[in-house]
Structure 1
Amino acid sequence: MKVVSFFSGCGGLDLGFEQAGFEVIWANDNDPAVFETYLLNHPHTYLCRKDMRELTMEEIPECDGFIGGPPCQSWSEGGKQLGLDDERGRMFLTYIHFIQAKQPKFFVIENVKGILSDKHFPTFKKMLGQLKDAGYVVHYQLMNAAHYYVPQERFRVIVVGVRNDIDVKYQFPKPDISCFITLRQAIGEITEEPRKYTLELVDMEYEKWLNHDVYMGPFDDRYMARNRVRGWNEVSYTMQAKARNCPLHPQAPKMIYVSRDKQIFRPGYEHLYRRLSVRECARIQTFPDHFRFIYHDVCDGYKMVGNAVPPRLGRAIAESIKECFASVLSESCSILVATYRNENQLRMSLENRLYYVRADLRAGAMRFSQGMKAPHYLFLHKSGSYILLILKEVEPRLVSSMYLENLGFHPSGDQYWVFEILDVETENRTECIKNYVSEHGGMKMKPYILELKL
């Protein structure tokens, strides 16, 4: 299934959906600080860098689902709690407008638990009502990432909507409260000292650990008002977007309580109190070690990591949606309907286990997005003869005419899409799909893709 992503940031939620087998075909974020990181780690996704309020409906591609977490500062219990009186809070309404207009099969919205507070809950319920009136069955739940194998206490409100003309029943993923991932399990093997920064530019050349950089700015009074250390055998505090509010490394003993608004570092152990590095935060957020964050100011690294949805939580949500749609997906498939020139070309296609179509802009050519997998079937026809082939569900390859000539084909263009053939389908299925093609698309000379509902 194909999804588009809004408020994408560095792509934590996107990564979770990709890990669950979804295709993130298009993403949107207008923060320049995330561009390089997103493009590096999501090479098959088109990143739209426009302010979403300037987008037209035509710019948003057709897809199965929308995913995204509108800015949370307006709803956070620790902020000014301006809600819709804040421009960032109104971005939630923009997202709802897109859902209303484009009508994807499903959507996901992620936000902070403050949106369920007494102050904001009436507004939240009205927004859910708008989504229901737009034609969706809307579910919401407060989820703790620690219950989904994320080594931190992180509460987030997740909203999932499924279009009400689709006969499925959605259920949130079941929490596992019996198994917590501890800080030792998450970051215990990172024993090297991080590189220390305050205001200087970050050196992006690394050795073993990518982004093992730590912010060493001063601790303000508000930070020192409570303990910031969790032990090795505990889960972490919530990862923060602001570097100065990042939790402290578990190598230090817990801070000493002095008064309601004051705690201090344990005397004699002051040297152990440092913030977690960007890489340690990324591990606690469940980003893989190869996921590289690009930044010149270390604070931007913390911001990208802290603002992200933990990929493992995103994957749990994605898999619950995939399971919900499983019955629908099992009853549908896509077919590439095309012709073959003669029996010799068909024989060579079967021997080489490939079929090709033009990839330029001429009549009869086809265009494919990067990362798009091949259709399930290839239905070939010629003068009343036909054959149904099963294709490998891999991305079509773009090849030159020379590549095909070396295999014995005789192409007449420059570039071609190559589809890999897995096997020949059974006679009964071939006859069934032949009838469907005849009724719904016809035996056209130009290749086209037909979505089949069995």
Structure 2
Amino acid sequence: MENEIKVVSLFSGIGGFEVGLENSMLKYKVVFSSEIDKYASISYLSNFKDNNLSGDITIISEKDIPEHDLLVAGFPCQAFSIAGKRKGFEDTRGTLFFDVARILKEKKPKYILLENVKNLVSHNHGETFKKMINVLNEIGYTLDFSIINSSEAGVPQNRERTYIVGILNKKVDDVLFDTRSYKLQNLKGKLEYKGFNFFDTLTFNNRQNYIIDIIDDIFDEKYLINGEKITNYLAEIDLNYIKKVNKKIVKVFDLPKDIYNDLERQRRVYSIYGISPTILARSDATKILIEKGDKYLIRKITPKECFRLQGFKESFIKNIIDNSSISMTQAYKQAGNAVSPPVITGILNHLYIDYISKDKEISFIDLFCGLGGFRIALEKLGAKCSFSSDIDINVKNIYAKNFNEMPYGDITKISSEVIPNHDILCAGFPCQPFSLAGKRLGFDDVRGTLFFDVARILHDKQPKGFILENVKGIVNHDSGRTLERILSILDEIGYECKYEVLNAKDFGIPQNRERWYCVGIRKDLKYKIKKFIFPEKEELKLSILDIIDDNIVDPKYKISESCRKNINIHIEKRNIKITDITLASEIRPSRCVFNNKGFSNCLTAKMGTGGSNVPVIVKKGRKFTEKECLKLMGFPENYIIGEGYQAYKQIGNSVVVPLIEKIARNLIYVLKNE
């Protein structure tokens, strides 16, 4: 579906967020959902059979979560609720927030919507909430938060919950407001965080409901609170209370303890002309006063009515209540743990009208496209590719298999008029003229002039920005004169630039691959290159062991006897310790490079020339497969690649996808938010 928002739902419960989505303006598809509770899962599946429901999120890798645009999560309340032990992050379940955070960090959806208990903002003197906000900011989200009462959305229940909305890389607002709470207004003034104003303009236009609107006239007598003492008490007291609807909790009386021996909260009886107190995840539901003929009766709200108090529709409720697997106790629990769908709908509609529908799509072109590494990275960020080109027919065929379109050919023969207007130009122009691996002829080399085709298109089409990639040797080639010339030309055609040499192993990929990256922004725009920052280094958490496939048995990947002999000679001669992560490269009688560092040496196009140019996993006696090499470049699992030397050459010529994504994200942030 065009413009379909892909949604991931965590701690899905019975599907309150999903009902909110159903009733919203969004065109969406839930691509993943998770719930650990057996009975909540049964109820969820009774209404949502096609939402890819999984179980315990703590044992699901963030890499296995599908790409998505919106993440919603009502992570468990106990760790932050006054109903629980208030251990917060010291409570094991409190760390479930970090399961949300690790998925956000890995997948970077554009939008997030989180729900928790009201007291989240004050737990542990505000330190719990401060920590959460800081973590979300660090991942890249600009945030707003507020405490919303479900009664605002017309729900006949006094239910205050904390809601957090985040938009990835959104521009920060200078002054932050909270029109619902003076306390939160003060908190927003004191907290140091990246925020924007969202909830202050959120309104609900729903019809207000009251308890009288959601209760059944016919009900099972097991819900009655009766007995001789209660009957006598009701006959004796004066019940002349106002029977007029009121958007408040209206308590009629407290049952005396000698009449009904329970906690004070359980002895409160409420008017059906008001709204209910907060329903909880237990069976001691709200007690109401009703009239039957000339008599007053006290009864509990039924499970079905509890779902109505949350704003669920009748067909949804029926599918749960009619399920024989769900006991009365479970039904009460599920209703009390749910989010209020009308609140979710209102928030999502506000997000859609004010942000999603106005979110301008960034377009880009992909020159010297190769396998499409730039395209994968930028499309993951929501950008649209409007043109691609490559001269190599073999790589063009692979590109077409993965993107369902054949790139244009030789860029030197393509007029700028053929190329559509675009926002970002991407080009990993051929490495050889500037590479230590080549002849280092630079601009005197015919292929070196391909940079001028990049410059020609920049001059003629004037995109807002560009990302260029090349070998690190470009920095000092010809004593720096090559790079000086490149930057001079970019300046002449109207661009301010920043460049850095970055290593893939510093950005989550276990490969020692240093490359030159250059980002430019057009001078005449209000965007300034000084606003762009290259991504910060991060700890390498993957190793070669995460890349190696232990199930490879195909003999074509086995090394030759002469190669094995050369490796063994060097092992014995130099007393090399061999482990599961030991790699060997540049293998010949006079030389062999061993690597026990947990990351691969740089993969190069030389892998396509045969011999022992593909790194060897020493213990397994085989070289990396094409798929393993793709993983070392950060390509997705489902990428279609060929076999043999052409595939290895294509991979060695490619870009590291996650690193391009991080650079592109920062550029798009500047272009969209200045």
Give TM class, smaller chain: 0.5 to 0.7
Shift of 1:122: 1.3
- Asked if the contact 1:75–1:120 (Cα under 8 Å) also holds between the matched residues in 2, the reply is no
Q: Which residue of 1 aligns with 2:290?
A: 251
Does 2:308 correspond to 1:237? Answer: no
**Cα 1:164–1:221, aligned 2, differ >3 Å: closer, same or farther?**
farther
Q: TM-score, normalised by structure 2?
A: 0.41
Residue in 1 aligned with 2:169?
Answer: 164
1:185 equivalenced with 2:213 (yes/no): yes
For the residue of structure 2 that corresponds to 1:272, the secondary structure is strand
Instruction: State the SS of the aligned residue for 2:32.
Output: strand
Contact (CA 8 Å) 1:3, 1:66: kept in 2 or not? yes
User: Which residue of structure 2 lines up, in the alignment, with residue 30 of structure 1?
Assistant: 36
* Per-residue CA distance 1:397-442 (angstroms, 9 max, x = gap): xxxxxxxxxxxxxxxxxxxxxxxxxxxxxxxxxxx999589x99xx
Structure 1 residue aligned with 2:339: 309
The CA deviation at 1:320 is 1.6
Contact kept? 1:136, 1:161, Cα under 8 Å: yes
Q: Name the structure where strand makes up a greater proportion of residues.
A: 1
| 2:122/2:129 contact within 8 Å kept | no
- 1:68-90: CA deviation from partner (whole Å, max 9, x where unpaired): 11111121123221111211111
Q: Secondary structure at the match of 1:185?
A: helix
- In structure 2, the CA distance between the partners of 1:434 and 1:192, relative to structure 1 (3 Å rule), is farther
Quote the RMSD (CA, aligned, Å): 3.5
Unaligned runs of 5+ in 2: 174-195, 225-258, 364-416, 427-639, 641-667, 669-674
Q: In the superposition, relative to structure 1, how do residues 195 and 226 fare at CA in structure 2: closer, same or farther (>3 Å)?
A: closer
Conserved? CA contact 1:2–1:64, under 8 Å: yes
Give the number of the structure whose alpha-carbon radius of gyration is greater: 2
CA contact (8 A) 1:107 1:160 kept: yes
CA 1:175–1:120: 2 relative to 1, 3 Å: farther
5+ long unaligned stretches in structure 1: 199-218, 254-267, 334-431, 441-447
Question: Is the CA contact 2:223–2:300 (under 8 Å) kept in the aligned structure 1?
Answer: no
Q: Which residue of 2 aligns with 1:40?
A: 46
For the residue of structure 1 that corresponds to 2:131, the secondary structure is: helix
Conservation of the 8 A alpha-carbon contact between 1:4 and 1:24: yes
| 2:21 corresponds to 1:5 | no
Question: How many residues in Structure 1 have an aligned counterpart in Structure 2?
Answer: 306
Distance in 2 between residues matched to 1:133 and 1:312, nearest whole Å: 31
State the match for 1:275 in structure 2. 300
Structure 1 residues 434, 308: closer, same or farther in 2, change over 3 A?
Answer: farther
After TM superposition, the structure 1 = structure 2 runs for residues 53-452 of structure 1, keeping only pairs within 5 Å, are 53-117=58-122, 119-164=124-169, 171-172=198-199, 174-175=202-203, 180-187=208-215, 190-194=216-220, 196=222, 223-225=263-265, 227-244=267-284, 246-251=285-290, 272-291=297-316, 292-293=319-320, 294=323, 295-329=325-359, 331=361
C-alpha deviation, 1:178, in angstroms = 10
Asked whether the 8 Å contact 1:17–1:24 carries over to 2, the reply is no
More helix by share: 2
User: Does the Cα contact within 8 Å between 1:197 and 1:298 map onto a contact in 2?
Assistant: no
CA 1:118–1:43: 2 relative to 1, 3 Å: closer
Give 1:34 shift.
1.5
Give the distance between the partners of 2:137 and 2:260, measured in 1 at CA. Answer: 45
Residue 330 of structure 1 deviates from its aligned partner by: 6.7
User: 19-28 vs 223-232, which deviates more?
Assistant: 223-232
What amino acid does structure 2 have at the position aligned with 1:241?
A
Higher normalized contact order (CA 8 Å, seq sep 6+, divided by chain length)? 1
Task: Give runs of ≥4 in structure 1 deviating > 3 Å.
Answer: 165-170, 175-180, 195-198, 219-228, 326-333, 432-437
Contact 2:282 2:336 (8 Å CA) reproduced: yes
Closer/same/farther in 2, CA of residues 247 and 197 from structure 1, 3 Å limit: closer
Q: Distance in 2 between matches of 1:182 and 1:157?
A: 23
Q: Structure 1 residues 129 and 77, CA, compared in 2 at 3 Å: closer, same or farther? A: same
- Cα drift, residue 36 of structure 1: 2.0
Q: For residues 250 and 177 of structure 1, do their structure 2 counterparts lie closer, same or farther at Cα, with a shift above 3 Å needed?
A: farther
Going from structure 1 to structure 2, the CA distance change for 1:137 and 1:242 (only over 3 Å counts) comes to same
Q: Shift of residue 119 of structure 1? A: 2.3
In 1, Cα distance between equivalents of 2:122 and 2:327? 34
1:74–1:84: 8 Å Cα contact kept in structure 2? yes
CA spacing shift, 1:149–1:433, aligned 2, 3 Å:
farther
How many angstroms does 1:323 deviate by? 1.7
Matches of 1:89 and 1:118, distance apart in 2? 12
Contact 1:147–1:179 (Cα < 8 Å) also in 2: no
Distance 2:418 2:264 in 1: 68
C-alpha distance in 1 between matches for 2:203 and 2:214: 19
SS class of match (1:147): helix
Alpha-carbon distance in structure 1 between the residues aligned to 2:314 and 2:360? 34
User: Percent identity of the aligned residues?
Assistant: 29
Cα distance change of structure 1 residues 330 and 129 upon mapping to structure 2, 3 Å threshold: closer
Task: Give the Å deviation of 1:27.
Answer: 0.6
